[in-house]
Chains A and B, each alone.
Chain A
Amino acid sequence: MVETTLKIKNKSGLHLRPAAEFVKKANEFQANITLERGGKVVNGKSIIHVQALGVRQGMTINLRAVGVDAEDAVAALSELVNNKFGEE
């Protein structure tokens, strides 16, 4: 398992569009990807679940990946989050 903690810096948080970007990227990997916030764990490849986490600007989430390409998945997703999904 590869795990990291990420701080959400973009304005709208993991709202619909960023959530969509996230799951699209997550789906490029084979690894099982989950997100956790406040004890709630969701499937990181499902748009409904990711946006339902209610992640807003300033919050932190735990990103976990299990599988052959877990390392790459976490790296790519972290980059996406840290680059604020190309948003402000």
Chain B
Amino acid sequence: MVGVVIVSHSLKAAEGIKEIAQQMGRDVPVAAVGGTADGQIGTDPLAIKEAIEGVMGSDGVLLLVDLGSAVLNTQLAVEMLEDEGQDQVVLSNAPILEGAVVAVVESAMGHNLEQVKKAAEEAIHMEKLL
């Protein structure tokens, strides 16, 4: 199963999103990471790297981010991974919450990293006001 990492400026936000997403598939490995090393609002590439390693399996990992430095620090975290690991993680442009929900559904169905990424990114078109 494809792992999912949720990177937010706030650990609370990341954990909340994880909680919502995991309702869709309890067995999917999901990690939430956020905040600075001293617990402030921000992002920490070393913590992100650990989070990625924590859910890394043979099917790879999809990374979902909120804004700004979450993108830069996640890219940095990916560069810090071992070479083999780098090929197995992808950063997605998906909306963080909707994307996480869809990614977990897709991963639970056994879809591959590319399929999970594509579906998560399509979540931007998710209709809410039906």
Contact = CB atoms under 8 A, between A and B. Distances in A.
Q: Do chains A and B touch in the complex (CB under 8 A)?
A: yes
B122 A20 contact: no
A20 to B, nearest CB: 5
A62 interface: no
Contact of B109 (A16, A17, A24, A53): A24
Contact of A48 (B24, B110, B111, B126): B126
Interface string B96-130: 00000110011011110000000100110111001
Contacts of A54: 127, 130
A16 B127 contact: no
A47 interface: yes
A27 interface: yes
A23 interface: yes
A5 B122 CA distance: 28
A48 B102 contact: yes
A48 to B, nearest CB: 5
B109 to A, nearest CB: 4
A5 to B, nearest CB: 20
B23 interface: yes
Interface string A15-48: 0110010011001000000000000000000111
B109 A23 contact: yes
Contacts of B130: 52-54, 56
A51 interface: yes
Given A27-B109, A46-B119, A20 B127 contact: no
B110 to A, nearest CB: 8
A51 B111 CA distance: 19
Contacts of A24: 25, 105, 108-109
Interface of B: 23-25, 101-102, 105-106, 108-111, 119, 122-123, 125-127, 130
